[in-house]
């Protein structure tokens, strides 16, 4: 069956009759979260844009990877294969789109070569297709990078299988673009038929600070889908630095939330600050980052400490968080001013850090007096499929679909050169 996509016209009560809307199924498997979502979106990203989250399902593997102190790629790949079909069914059920029926057995058989490297997933897909028919979906969006390639391939091959079985086109989504979209577009997972005058909030040029376990980037946007990376990490990302420093302190994985929790305790209890770590590259005349030296500083300090009492660990955690946040805020402050940004978008897992948020909200208005600072809601700060659906819609409404035969996992994919 030849893949296709559908363009719908809005019904009475939704808005202008010529506005296009789509129902998009999204798949995210870039790291250790398996996620599937269904959204309905209409219009372009201006005053007529609106979207509804019809179904959203996610399963984190963090507890499984904790024993390794970080994400173990082959374990992530295995778990994605086991989780995708159950999460697909959950998302479709929540969207009231789980349809009984049966796919043609020849279609199911033809999927086996495609999923030859994910034999367990093929079994789940075959069982699903033998008991369920095609839902009312217009296209499929899937993350193809950046991320762990073994994990990305599972989601990509799953998307290809559904595309082949249901005759739907695929949108290949950059994971980082998803983080931008979810922060720029409001929604909390419970909103239906949500309308937002995006042109009143997103003013260009916009600057995005993307901070996660694998990435720390400053991205300039002069319009939607046009990106220029103006600063990035030269080694460890901010989230990676949090996790590595937490491991040195003997804290559980993921380490970022543990560092933040202890840092908050230290501030709340007025614990005397006895430690100060270096702020790498903070004063250099560029917008790049480096956090590997912070890990080394923490390791050296801990090595010189005879006993790590709880208050000492809390003091080190606060000093670690202060160093990371100070660098992120100072570089962002400089970038907003240098490029005369009118909107600051902050996204990625580290964007949930409350100290980072409060410091950005305290400092950035000095150089962004009439603009907006946009964060994702906490539940959408970390990886999820809603963000992939929204970014997918950006491209789908322009007809930017990919040939499934050329779709590949790109672990080091960039937003721009």
Q: Which two tokens stand for residue 364?
A: 């950035």
Q: With 90 as the cut, is the pLDDT of residue 375 above it?
A: yes
Compute the distance between CA of residue 128 and CA of residue 153 in angstroms, rounded to an integer. 20
Q: 85-140: per-residue pLDDT in tens?
A: 999 999 999 999 999 998 899 999 999 999 999 999 999 999 999 999 999 999 99
| pLDDT value of position 167 | 95
329 neighbors 279 (Cβ within 8 angstroms): no
Cis before 254 (ω within 30): yes
| pLDDT value of position 46 | 64
CA distances from 110 to 82, 165, 343 (A): 20, 9, 48
| pLDDT value of position 20 | 67
CB within 8 A of 371, min separation 6: which ones? 203, 341, 342, 343, 344
Compute the distance between CA of residue 101 and CA of residue 103 in angstroms, rounded to an integer. 7
Compute the distance between CA of residue 316 and CA of residue 197 in angstroms, rounded to an integer. 44
| pLDDT value of position 64 | 78
Maximum mean pLDDT: which of 37-41, 100-104, 200-204, 366-370:
37-41
Give the whole-number percent of the chain exceeding pLDDT 90.
75
Q: With 90 as the cut, is the pLDDT of residue 187 above it?
A: no
| pLDDT value of position 13 | 36
Cis before 205 (ω within 30): yes
Compute the distance between CA of residue 196 and CA of residue 190 in angstroms, rounded to an integer. 15
Average pLDDT, the chain: 89
Q: 227-283: per-residue pLDDT in tens?
A: 999 999 999 999 999 999 999 999 998 889 999 999 999 999 988 889 999 998 998
Q: With 50 as the cut, is the pLDDT of residue 391 above it?
A: yes
Averaged pLDDT for residues 408-412? 97
Please tell me the least confidently modeled range out of 69-83, 108-122, 403-417.
69-83
**CA 339 from centroid of its chain's CA atoms:** 25
The domains of the chain, with CATH numbers, are 8-196+381-406 (3.30.420.40), 204-370 (3.30.420.40)
| pLDDT value of position 67 | 75
Sign of torsion over alpha carbons 306, 312, 315, 316: positive
| pLDDT value of position 47 | 61
Q: 290-331: per-residue pLDDT in tens?
A: 999 999 999 999 987 767 899 999 999 999 999 999 999 999
Q: With 80 as the cut, is the pLDDT of residue 414 above it?
A: yes
Residue with tokens 């091959």: 157
Q: With 80 as the cut, is the pLDDT of residue 65 above it?
A: no
Averaged pLDDT for residues 41-61? 85
Residue 190 pLDDT grade (very low, low, confident, very high; cuts 50, 70, 90): very low
Residue with tokens 């007529």: 48
């Amino acid at each position: 069956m030849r893949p296709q996509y559908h363009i719908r016209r809005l019904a009475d009560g939704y808005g202008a009759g010529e506005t296009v809307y789509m129902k998009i199924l999204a798949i995210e498997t870039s790291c250790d979260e398996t996620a599937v979502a269904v959204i309905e979106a209409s219009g372009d990203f201006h005053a007529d844009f609106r979207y509804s989250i019809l179904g959203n399902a996610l399963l984190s593997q963090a507890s499984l990877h904790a024993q390794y102190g970080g994400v173990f790629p082959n374990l992530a790949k295995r778990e994605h294969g086991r989780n995708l079909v159950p999460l697909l069914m959950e998302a479709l059920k929540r969207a009231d789109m789980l349809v009984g029926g049966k796919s043609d057995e020849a279609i199911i058989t033809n999927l086996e070569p495609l999923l030859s490297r994910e034999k367990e997933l093929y079994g789940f897909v075959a069982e699903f297709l033998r008991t369920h028919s095609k839902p009312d979906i217009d296209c499929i969006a899937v993350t193809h990078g950046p991320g762990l390639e073994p994990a990305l391939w599972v989601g990509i091959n799953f998307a290809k299988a559904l595309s082949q079985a249901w005759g739907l086109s695929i949108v290949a989504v950059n994971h980082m673009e998803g983080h931008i979209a979810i922060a720029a577009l409001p929604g909390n997972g419970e909103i239906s038929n949500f309308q937002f005058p995006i042109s009143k909030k997103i003013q260009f040029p916009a600057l995005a600070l993307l901070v996660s376990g694998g990435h720390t980037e400053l991205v300039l946007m002069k319009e939607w889908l046009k990106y220029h990376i103006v600063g990035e990490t030269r080694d460890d990302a901010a989230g990676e630095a949090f996790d590595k420093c937490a491991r040195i302190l003997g804290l559980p994985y993921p380490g970022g939330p543990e560092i933040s929790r202890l840092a908050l305790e230290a501030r709340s209890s007025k614990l005397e600050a006895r430690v100060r770590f270096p702020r790498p590259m903070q004063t250099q005349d560029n917008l790049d980052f480096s956090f590997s030296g912070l890990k080394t500083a923490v390791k050296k300090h801990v090595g010189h400490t005879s006993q790590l009492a709880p208050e000492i660990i809390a003091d080190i955690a606060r000093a670690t968080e202060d160093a990371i946040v100070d660098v992120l805020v100072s570089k962002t402050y400089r970038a907003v001013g240098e490029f005369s940004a009118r909107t600051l978008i902050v996204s990625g897992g580290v964007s949930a850090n409350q100290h980072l948020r409060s410091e950005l909200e305290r400092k950035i208005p000095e150089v962004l007096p009439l603009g907006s600072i946009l964060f994702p809601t906490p539940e959408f700060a970390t990886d999820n499929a809603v963000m992939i659906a929204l970014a997918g819609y950006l491209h789908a409404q322009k007809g930017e679909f990919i040939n499934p035969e050329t779709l590949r996992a790109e672990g080091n994919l960039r937003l721009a050169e």
